[in-house]
């Protein structure tokens, strides 16, 4: 969004027009609504702004729920924003540590600041981009004097009176739409600057989950977070925000519930064992945190291959930290052999998963003959140099409370 569009939008006429628009969900919706608004005499800047915002509000609903319908966004800001459910968990850590005043450095459109302010903390939200800071001010306006928004860089911000910081370095090139990833030394602020600040103030630093682990300081808690099957972030916690004795953590959020695995260090893997009655796929946060061994021991499982993140066991156990599959049969990963097994079991619908093999599941599916009413999961992997296929059924987790 350009400043001219934002200026046109942040008027009584602009905001009223935005709130009156129906959801914009498709390119056809865009063309129809733009044509109608232009015929009604609205300026090009205003039409572009309200239509873009209406479409972004639709896309924001999975992250912000009903709040999305009263927020403003940029494309890049929405893509990079923390989900509100995750931001609330982060905010609770500040509150539980007794912290009342937080600086949110690199606040973006204000997603994390929303979580902090909603728990009664005083927040100074700072962003280096003028348009993004203005949008954050709009989104955070309902909290009144509890939130201050500044247009500045993290390095320029006066932190006197602040008890802790939440820091989300800009890891992509500047812009409100298409951006590209940059190196840690080119982030804004640079990663070394952020870690230095974390030694002086309690801090939570939001980073990409694939960060080179060698860059993580030894004296912090590193928490990988996944939501509904996707590993979304790594948060480095320091000072009073880091938990005693915890250096590695995997937080798994699924279907509105949260489960966490913690350890004092990377967990040693369990030994390799032969394929058993079950195969378990650890959640991505568990893999990133290198806590596969902890999960394996809880399932009485071992590694299927020492280099591949599949576990196997004979015990009828599962956990929130894995997806579990009951093995029907295994075979060489050859299409004719797999098709014969699919026919024998009457499989008409198949989920394809793979680890350790160079296979495009979409292309591989085209080679399969799927006929029948049954469904199954096909796991493509390898044991040593041997490529195998495992035909299996997903195991449902026990109902809550069991």
Helix axis angle for 111-118 and 84-96, nearest 10°, is: 50
Q: Do 124 and 113 meet the contact criterion of CB atoms below 8 Å apart?
A: no
Residue 95, H or E segment: helix 84-96
Instruction: Calculate ∠ Cα 362-363-365, nearest 5°.
Output: 65
Closest by CA to 155, choosing from 116, 184, 196, is: 196
State the Cα–Cα distance between residues 125 and 111, nearest whole angstrom.
Answer: 10
DSSP 3-state of 353:
strand
Predicted confidence at residue 179, as pLDDT, reads 56
pLDDT digit string, tens, across residues 327-374? 999 999 999 999 999 999 999 999 999 999 999 999 999 999 999 999
Q: At a CB cut-off of 8 Å and minimum separation 6, what does 398 contact?
A: 318
Closest by CA to 304, choosing from 347, 344, 259, 355, is: 355
Residue 200, H or E segment: helix 191-200
pLDDT digit string, tens, across residues 58-114? 999 999 999 999 999 999 899 989 999 999 999 999 999 999 999 999 999 999 999
Considering the chain, what percentage of its residues have pLDDT values greater than 70? 96
pTM of the model: 0.90
Residue 178 has pLDDT above 60, yes or no: no
State the Cα–Cα distance between residues 128 and 6, nearest whole angstrom.
Answer: 17
CA 135 to chain centre: 22
For 350, half-sphere exposure in the C-beta direction (CA atoms, 13 angstrom radius) is 30
Predicted confidence at residue 173, as pLDDT, reads 61
Q: At a CB cut-off of 8 Å and minimum separation 6, what does 107 contact?
A: 113, 125, 126, 127, 133, 136, 149, 168
Q: Do 252 and 284 meet the contact criterion of CB atoms below 8 Å apart?
A: no
What is the CB neighbour count within 10 angstroms for residue 217? 12
Signed CA dihedral, 319, 320, 321, 323: sign only: positive
State the Cα–Cα distance between residues 18 and 110, nearest whole angstrom.
Answer: 20
Instruction: Quote the strand ranges of 132-194, DSSP E.
Output: 147-151, 164-167
State the Cα–Cα distance between residues 258 and 93, nearest whole angstrom.
Answer: 14
Residue 131 has pLDDT above 90, yes or no: yes
Predicted confidence at residue 402, as pLDDT, reads 33
Strand pairing class (203-207; 164-167) = parallel
pLDDT digit string, tens, across residues 8-25? 899 999 999 999 998 888
Name the CATH code of domain 78-263 (choices 3.40.50.150, 3.40.309.10, 3.40.50.261, 3.30.2310.20): 3.40.50.150
């Amino acid at each position: 969004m350009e400043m001219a569009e934002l200026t046109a939008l942040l008027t009584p006429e602009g905001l009223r027009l935005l709130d009156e628009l129906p959801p914009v969900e498709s390119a056809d919706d865009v063309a129809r609504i733009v044509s109608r608004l232009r015929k009604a005499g609205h300026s090009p800047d205003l039409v572009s702004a309200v239509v873009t915002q209406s479409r972004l509000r639709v896309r924001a609903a999975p992250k912000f729920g009903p709040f999305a319908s009263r927020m403003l966004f940029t494309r890049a800001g929405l893509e990079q924003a923390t989900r509100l459910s995750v931001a609330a968990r982060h905010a609770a850590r500040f509150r539980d540590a007794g912290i009342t005043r937080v600086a949110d450095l690199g606040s973006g459109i204000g997603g994390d600041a929303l979580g902090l302010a909603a728990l009664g903390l005083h927040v100074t939200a700072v962003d280096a981009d003028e348009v993004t800071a203005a949008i954050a001010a709009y989104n955070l306006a309902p909290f009144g004097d509890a939130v201050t928004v500044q247009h500045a860089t993290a390095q320029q911000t006066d932190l006197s009176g602040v008890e802790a910081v939440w820091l989300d370095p800009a890891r992509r090139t500047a812009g409100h739409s298409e951006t590209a990833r940059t190196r840690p030394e080119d982030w804004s602020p640079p990663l070394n600057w952020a870690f230095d600040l974390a030694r002086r103030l309690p801090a939570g630093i939001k980073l990409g989950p694939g960060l080179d682990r060698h860059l993580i300081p030894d004296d912090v808690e590193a928490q990988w977070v996944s939501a509904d099957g996707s590993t979304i972030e790594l948060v480095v916690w320091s000072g009073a925000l880091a938990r005693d004795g915890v250096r590695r953590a995997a937080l798994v959020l699924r279907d509105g519930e949260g489960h966490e695995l913690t350890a004092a260090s990377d967990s040693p893997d369990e030994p390799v064992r032969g394929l058993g009655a079950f195969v378990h796929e650890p959640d991505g946060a568990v893999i990133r945190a290198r806590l596969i061994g902890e999960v394996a021991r809880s399932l009485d499982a071992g590694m299927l291959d020492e280099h591949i993140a599949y576990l196997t066991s004979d015990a009828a156990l599962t956990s929130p930290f894995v997806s579990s599959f009951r093995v029907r049969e295994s075979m060489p990963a050859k299409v004719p052999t797999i098709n014969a097994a699919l026919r024998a079991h009457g499989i008409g619908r198949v989920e394809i998963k793979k680890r350790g093999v160079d296979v495009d599941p979409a292309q591989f599916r085209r080679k399969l003959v799927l006929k029948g009413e049954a469904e199954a999961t096909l796991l493509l992997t390898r044991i040593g140099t041997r490529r195998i296929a495992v035909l299996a059924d997903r195991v449902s987790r026990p109902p809550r409370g069991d």
